[in-house]
Each structure stands twice: as structure tokens, then as C-alpha cells.
Structure 1
Amino acid sequence: MDDFGNLFKRHTYITKASTSLIYGILVSIAVNFFWTPGHIYSSGMTGFAQLLNTISSRSLPVTIPTGIGLFILNVPLFLLAWRSIGKEFTAFTFITVLLSSMMIQMLNPVPLTHDPIICAIFGGAVNGFGTGLALRNGISTGGLDILGIVIRKKTGKSIGTINIAFNSIIVIAAGFLYGWPYAFYSVLGLLVNARVIDMTYTRQHQMQVMIITDRPNTVIDSVQNHMRRGITIVNDVEGAYRHESKTILFTVISAFEMSELEEALEESDPNAFASVSDTVKILGRFYEPKP
């Protein structure tokens, strides 16, 4: 059993390291192929690193490259994550940021187009896919992710306000440095980036599930073996067609867990009827895996 656990952990580590490399390649493509040629700024620390690069190239004797600036800006956040979140989380965040910084520096810019709208849309899409992929595999891309986790852990509040304020500074800077149309182009890129992240990283998207079955205990055991979710039981309901006794089970899952739910139902009761609908808001405790 210990050998299986070690093998599983090793497989998880390899998956996370591979995802870190993929993210590094994608963010470097976004920066070097789209954002830099189009004068578009990203969100978070990547955008701040771009801002430092632009300002230093214009006002300082030494230019701070975007890749190097990205790593330097994350150093104090690594220390914060090490103390407040965990060593394994910090290690993989360090690897992800290091690979991203290296790939941004190593990948030679290839300006496919200078059209700011195209650069904003495709840069945001490429980076959003990479970020969503990283989040799906339990990897932080550094920057404001770390602050968000620490603040939520200590206060229970989200970092939404800080995110908005930080990104507003970047957008305003884009307006001053390149002209106000580029500030709006950067906003477009941020919106595309956020939308693609939501499409790729579905763990935060909750859905309500209603299951009608005549094998409730088997279904409950199967579902809870596949995922950590509470289930509410409504006994002694009757079907209107055959007037058979049924049981209704209610639970809430993330969209990320949809395939696990389907597998659990197929194993326990292939004839069960399940209805899945989006939830607008959840009040109370909803389990989310720790990073």
C-alpha cells in the first residue's frame, strides 16, 4: 500500500511539473508573440513585470526584462507562501514561476501582428488557457494567487478588491505609456483571459444534482467513494408513471467533478435519473480541496 501511495505521489509530482512547463511555454507565447508587439498588458504580476520593463527601458540606465522582473516580484510572495500556505505548494509555485520567467526570456519574440485588438484577444486566450490548466492541476502561477489564498485563509474574504485595484493600476499605466486606446485594449485582454480561465478551470463552478433512484445506499456509497460531497436524502417519494417507491438524493458538486459523478452512477445504478443544474449562489459550507 505504501508503494502504491509513493507511486501515486510521484505521478502527481510529474504531472504538476509537466503542467508548470506547459504553462511557462504558453505565458511566454502570450507575452512575446502578442502582448509585447501589441503594447498590451497582462493582469497581476506578469502585467506589473511588463510595466517595469517599459518604464525601465524609457527612464532607467538598465532595462529590467519582463521574465526577470516577474521572478523578482514573486520572491517576497514565495516567502509568504512558505510561511502561511505550505512547503509543497511553495515549491511548485517556485518551479512554475521560474520556468515561466526562463521561457519568457528564452523564447524570441515573433510579432505575428501588431494589431492591438488581435493581440489582446489571442494573448488573453493563450494565457487564460495556460492559467486554467495550471489551476486544474493544483498549481499556483504565483503573484496575486498567493495573496488571495493567504487572505482567504486568514480572514475568509476574497481578494477581489485587491485584484481590481492592482489591475486598474496596470490598465491606467497602459493609458499613460501607450495612449488610452491601449488601456481599453488591455481591458479587453483581461476579460478574454478571465473568460478562458473560467472555461478551463471548472472547479469553482458549482452545480446542483438531483438523483432519483431505488438503490439509494449503493448510489450514496459510490458517489462518496469518488468525491468528497455531502448528500441529502428524501425518502418515500413516488413515481407518477408506475407508482414505484423511489428516493431522491440532492448534492452540490463542481463542474470539474462531473465525470466522476457519471462514473459513480454508472457503477451503482445505471437506471438512476439525474438532473444537473447550475447554481447561482451557495450559502454555507462547500468543501474545496486545499492547494
Structure 2
Amino acid sequence: MDLITKGLEKVVDMVKLRVINFVNIFLSSVLIAFAWNMFLLPHKILSSGVAGIAMMLALITPINTGIINYALNLPLMVLGFCKLGKRFMFYTIFSVTVTSIALLLIPIKAISSDPILSSVFGGVLAGIGTGLIFKSSGSTGGFDIIIFMLTRKKELPAGMLMFALNAIVIFVAGFVFDWDSALYTMLSIFVSGKVIDAIHTKHLKLTLMIITDNGEKVREHLISKLVRGITIMDGEGAYTRERRKVLFMIISRYELAGVKRLIKEIDPKAFVNVMETVEVMGYFRRDG
């Protein structure tokens, strides 16, 4: 009975987490659409990535941003679903869908007449929404999917790739509209990035040090759910003198929320230290 009870508790906890993630992604996606339609679009200020391209096309055509955003993301989502993690892509598809629908329903109306204030507050709100979606193991689609596929097998500088892709959006915005709009767009992207970093980690790779009394069970659980290598060492508490296992692993930023959940399922009392990883030499599998 105890095994059945524990199994049911794990299923309930998993369902609760999925529901919480979907609710967070839903509200965050609506917040992003609100930031675009109420702060950025009225002043011809763009967001980053594919969303920025969608906003630019919407401003020069009669088609709504939501329709263009979904149309541009659709082929990327199909490719991502085939190449990347299924759960990650389910959350991403849900986020893009909700954002696109919200863009259709929320009217485009300027809350502030000041483009600088609109750039800052629009960037803050979009950054909060994006950061919370990252924490829920999803993404907002667009360039995130492209970067993941480009860096999945090769050691390419993800940060530089993202900067280059966003720079193209800003550069084109300067020619299509004016350079003031391009500079406001740059300000909005900068503020949004800072907010995302405050909520979530900005680094592509993270190193986890896991200290647990259930080292073998944690190892088996992580390996069964992730395609990641794990290094195990013996540890001893300095005060208690108790023997524990120390597990080291490197993951991508999008896996962090899921890995913490997996560890908690086996050992809620495990000590987990999450460290920023500047560089990884050697083989690092990128299809997580």
C-alpha cells in the first residue's frame, strides 16, 4: 500500500506541476502580448527575434501581429518538435499560441505617450513574461528554437548568435521606420534581457552539484529522464561525518526546472548547488 500511495503522490505532484506550468505560461504569454500592444507597437518599437519581425510586418501591412507571429513560428515549431525535447516544445507551442491569440484580442492602444517610458516598461513586462516562461521549462519560440537547433551538435557561441540575429532586426527597423525607433527597440531588448536574467539564468549551460543520501536512486531517475552524463563522488559531512554521494552534471538552461523537479521526486532534502558554466570542453550532448 505504501508503494501505491507513494506512486499516486508522485503522479499527483507531477500533474500539479504540469498544471502550474501551463497556468504560468498562459498568464506570462498574455502579459507579453499586453506589453507589445500597449507599450511597444503604438510607438513602432519592436521586440527581439522572430517576434520583432512579426511586429515589423504588422506595422507595414493590415495583418494582425498575432497572425504573423504564429505563421512565422509555425515552421520553427514543427522543426523544433522533431529535433528538440517534446515537453519543452509542448510548452513552447502553447506559449506561442496563447501569445498570438492574445495579440488578436488585446487592442493596440498606447498607455504612455513617451516612447522612452514605453520602451522601458514594455521591455520590463515582456522580460517578466519571458523569464517566467523559461522557469516553467518552455520558451517563447522564434530565435530560441533556431539557437537550440544550431548549437545542439556544434560548439557555437549562442550568445553571439542571438546578438547577431537581434542586430539584424534592429538594423532593418532603422531602415523601415526611423533610427529613433531602432534605438528605442534596442533599449527595450536590453531592458527585457536584464529582467530575464534577474528571473532566470542567462547562461546556456549550468553545472549542478547534488549532495544526497540517495545517490543511486537520484542517478537512476535522472538518467532515465535525461540524456546527460553524471559524475559521482563520495562525500562526507564535516560536522555529522555522514557519508553522502555528490553528483555533478552539466545541463542547458531550459532543463533546470525539470531537473530540480526530478531531484525533488527522489530526495526532497537533497542539497543542490547551481553554478554558471562559462565554457565546456569535450563532448556535451545538445539535444536536451
TM-based fold match above 0.5: yes
Question: Matches of 2:83 and 2:208 in 1, distance apart?
Answer: 33
Deviation digits for residues 265-291 of structure 1 (CA, Å, limit 9, x no counterpart)? x9689xxxxxx8976734447999976
The aligned residue for residue 155 of structure 1 is 154
Residue 76 to residue 30, structure 1, CA distance change in 2 (3 Å): same
Secondary structure of the 1:182 match is helix
1:101-140 superposed Cα distances (whole Å, 9 cap, x missing partner): 0111111233111212111111111111111111111012
Is 1:35 the counterpart of 2:40? The answer is yes
Shift of 1:158: 4.2
Matching of residue 184 in structure 1 with residue 189 in structure 2: no
Whether the aligned pair in 2 keeps the contact of 1:43 and 1:170 (CA below 8 Å) is: yes
2:284, 2:200 → 1: CA distance?
17
Residue 230 of structure 1: CA displacement? 4.9
- How do residues 89-128 of structure 1 correspond to structure 2 at under 5 angstroms? 89-128=88-127
Task: Call closer, same or farther: CA 1:279–1:232 in 2, change over 3 Å.
Answer: farther
Change (3 A) 1:152 1:109: same
The residue type paired with residue 281 of structure 1 is V
* 2:15 is the alignment partner of 1:15: no
**Aligned equivalent of 2:278:** 281
What are the Cα deviations for residues 38-76 of structure 1, in whole angstroms up to 9, with x where unaligned? 2211001111101111222xxxxxx12111110000110
Q: Tell me, yes or no, if the aligned pair for 2:128 and 2:196 is still in contact at 8 Å.
A: yes
- TM normalised by structure 1 equals 0.72
Q: Deviations over 1:132-172 (max 9, x none)?
A: 11111101211111112222223243443442232122212
Q: Which runs of 5+ in 2 are unaligned?
A: 223-229
Alignment coverage as a number of residue pairs: 266
What secondary structure is seen at the aligned counterpart in 2 of 1:114? coil
**Partner of residue 215, structure 1:** none
CA 26–154 in structure 1, closer or farther in 2 if over 3 Å, else same: same
8 A contact 1:136–1:203 mirrored in 2:
no
1:133 alignment counterpart = 132
Tell whether 2:197 aligns with 1:221: no
Partners in 2 of 1:9 and 1:208 — Cα distance? 22
Q: Distance in 1 between matches of 2:27 and 2:125?
A: 11
Question: What stretches of structure 1 move > 4 A for 4+ residues in a row?
Answer: 205-209, 222-235, 249-257, 266-269, 276-280, 284-291
Bigger mean CA deviation after superposition, 120-129 or 142-151:
142-151
Q: Are positions 1:81 and 2:80 aligned together?
A: yes
Q: Is the 8 A contact 1:26 1:127 kept in 2?
A: yes
- Aligned equivalents of 2:98 and 2:286: distance in 1? 25
2:197 and 2:217 map into 1 onto residues whose CA distance is 27
Q: Tell me what 2:226 maps to.
A: none
CA contact (8 A) 1:136 1:201 kept: yes
Q: TM-score, normalised by structure 2?
A: 0.73
CA contact (8 A) 1:34 1:111 kept: yes
Cα RMSD for the two superposed structures: 4.2
Q: Name 2:64's counterpart in structure 1.
A: 65
Please list, as runs of the form range in 1=range in 2, the aligned pairs for 1:164-179 lying within 5 A after superposition.
164-179=163-178
Letter matched to residue 150 of structure 1: M
Larger radius of gyration: 1
The structure-2 alpha-carbon separation of the partners of 1:82 and 1:278, relative to structure 1 and needing over 3 Å to count, comes to: closer
Shift of 1:223: 8.4
* In structure 2, distance between residues paired with 1:76 and 1:284: 32
Per-residue CA deviation, residues 155-196 of structure 1 (Å, 9 max, x unaligned), is 243443442232122212221233212211111111111111
Whether 1:48 and 2:53 are equivalent positions in the alignment is: yes
Shift of 1:95: 1.4
Q: What SS is found at the alignment partner of 2:111?
A: coil
Q: What secondary structure sits across from 2:69 in the alignment? A: helix
Q: How many percent of aligned residue pairs carry the same amino acid?
A: 25
Greater alpha carbon shift after TM alignment, 219-228 vs 132-141: 219-228
